[in-house]
Structure 1
């Protein structure tokens, strides 16, 4: 009876001894092969890391989602209690952070007279002095007098200390033409009413000095240029004040990474106007 030899089915068969002999020719072929592989690897790596950006422009006919605007602006002479942000667009939407607009996630931080953040003061929370009540097809503005008086007290205190405000956060708007308006509360009738009833008359804010730390439309991407970033406008202490208007044109942008990931964002261009403020108005 023959003995079963399991070594015949081994998948790791050893080559013959004459095939494993190392020679000079084999060493030369090995070095040439390694050199060629290393050269090709370095070439592909340099091409991958040094890829050039390609820009392409085309007409945008798609209906896109809402636009997210990120703002980071310091107002050197407008206290947080006096600063409001109004959102208006061509579709008829009009909202404000006073009414706690659903699309606005803005944070206000108090600054001292030197422009430094007041460490003892937490984020300033705006009292909700106004409420929009909708009754059928009509809209009625309701003023909370208690909250309004508390708001006036905040403005008096911050104006007396010559405070400023840093506004930071994001606002979601529709993709239609509109305005993002940084204003002073006391200019509206609803805000002036508590002052007239209580006998408090707050001084008008006319110094609209500001610094734009960052303004973007949509997610950031490598190589993005934001024309307003770093813009600073300082008013003279005894000047008459100016209204600064920035007309911005937004261009939808698609950024594709070298890994094929698509990022939908926007770029913009800007035109700036500065007009002297009339004595009866003060806004930015």
Structure 2
């Protein structure tokens, strides 16, 4: 029964065989066999390389993230502005303001040749101020000399007197007459660091809204909904030359994922592979004018990378344009030499990063051909090449036989 069944299966054999006696082998057929094998091997190798290659598909979708914060990592050098003058402030359209950020920003003093002064990590003159405050005792209450006092009602440091003057709208141009400033050696500190530079590095957390980060001289205050900058220590008349020439070593926007070392490394590799770089890296801008403003307009786009193993990495990229002008000659009038400058009325010397968050999310997804696709393509290559070669061989063989008969 089994024999009969197997014998019946022969009727559906789609691969009929011929015996060696009826096969005709020619040199042309041998040549075509070798050429076909070479073509099959070449095409199969190309298909295998294509199968192993990772491609990146890019898509744009609406960014639906809400309530997230971004971290801007910066490393900027100012060769001719002392550290006690550099203030890092953040303002955004939501009304949140961070003034004179010091908890996440590190300032290193640089000598006139740009070399870091050892043991000089600085966030202003705070160490000296705190030491003098301890010497005066807990019950000491200093005078504000007519300025607007803080909530405590006392101005125990030169900085507090300075703030009180600016809040009152007065010029703080004669610190020698202030007892707190004399005891702190405020003037001596200014003269000692007058020709130094400053390296500013660290991270600043910002909301995902329109805003700006500015590095400006002196302290900034807000009065009557206006941002006011106290420029007396910056616009000096004793020959010290201050200007906001700068070198941006690094400026990048990060998400929370970038704090993970492994994720940061993978993200950096992906950015390099896709050509997503840091547009402001190693940018140097130079001026000799003290009242000079640099503005950078950044368009920040949230970006995600999806790898083959299903991992998701979040980061940000940005494009930038920049604008610069001399405030003293720039059409809005000269900034008053008397100490106060209102941002938006006269302009302020410094470096301003105005950022805008795009509502678009860029998603880069790594893809690769499936193994089934590779097998299917290989079979198609083998079958197609052999079929075409067989047809060509049949035509050549038939033509040769016809010519032989005629001759």
The TM-score, its normalising length taken from structure 2, stands at 0.47
Aligned position for 2:245: 209
Distance change in 2, residues 1:80/1:58 (3 Å) = same
Aligned position for 1:146: 157
Matches within 5 A, 1:1-284: 43=48, 50-97=53-100, 100=102, 105-118=104-117, 120-127=118-125, 144-146=155-157, 148=159, 149=181, 150=184, 153-159=188-194, 162-185=195-218, 206-218=242-254, 219=258, 221=267, 222-223=270-271, 224-236=276-288, 239=289, 241-278=291-328, 279-280=335-336, 281-284=348-351
Conserved 8 A contact 2:302-2:317: yes
- Secondary structure in 2 matching 1:56: strand
Distance change in 2, residues 1:171/1:152 (3 Å) = farther
CA drift of 1:60 comes to 1.2
CA drift of 1:146 comes to 2.3
Conserved 8 A contact 1:206-1:242: no
Find the aligned partners of 1:83 and 1:141 in 2 and give their Cα distance. 26
- Secondary structure in 2 matching 1:58: strand
Q: Which has the larger radius of gyration?
A: 2
Higher relative contact order (CA 8 A, sep 6+): 2
CA drift of 1:75 comes to 0.8
Find the aligned partners of 2:83 and 2:108 in 1 and give their Cα distance. 7
Which digits, 9 at most, give the CA deviation of each residue in 1:120-170, with x for residues without a partner? 2331133458xxxxxxxxxx67785425334654333211xx111111100
In structure 1, runs of 5+ residues without a counterpart are 1-38, 130-139
- Secondary structure in 2 matching 1:249: strand
Q: Cα RMSD (Å) of the superposition?
A: 3.5
Find the aligned partners of 2:106 and 2:321 in 1 and give their Cα distance. 27
- Secondary structure in 2 matching 1:122: strand
Distance change in 2, residues 1:61/1:173 (3 Å) = same
Distance change in 2, residues 1:208/1:127 (3 Å) = same
Distance change in 2, residues 1:117/1:172 (3 Å) = same
Conserved 8 A contact 1:255-1:263: yes
Find the aligned partners of 1:94 and 1:152 in 2 and give their Cα distance. 30
Distance change in 2, residues 1:60/1:81 (3 Å) = same
Find the aligned partners of 1:109 and 1:213 in 2 and give their Cα distance. 14
Find the aligned partners of 2:156 and 2:238 in 1 and give their Cα distance. 16
Conserved 8 A contact 1:156-1:202: no
Conserved 8 A contact 1:67-1:174: yes
The TM-score, its normalising length taken from structure 1, stands at 0.66
Conserved 8 A contact 2:244-2:290: no
CA drift of 1:47 comes to 5.2
Distance change in 2, residues 1:165/1:242 (3 Å) = same
In structure 2, runs of 5+ residues without a counterpart are 1-43, 130-149, 160-180, 222-227, 259-263, 329-334, 337-347, 352-407
Find the aligned partners of 1:73 and 1:190 in 2 and give their Cα distance. 21
Conserved 8 A contact 2:217-2:231: no
Distance change in 2, residues 1:78/1:192 (3 Å) = closer
Which digits, 9 at most, give the CA deviation of each residue in 1:11-47, with x for residues without a partner? xxxxxxxxxxxxxxxxxxxxxxxxxxxx99xx58x85
Find the aligned partners of 2:199 and 2:66 in 1 and give their Cα distance. 34
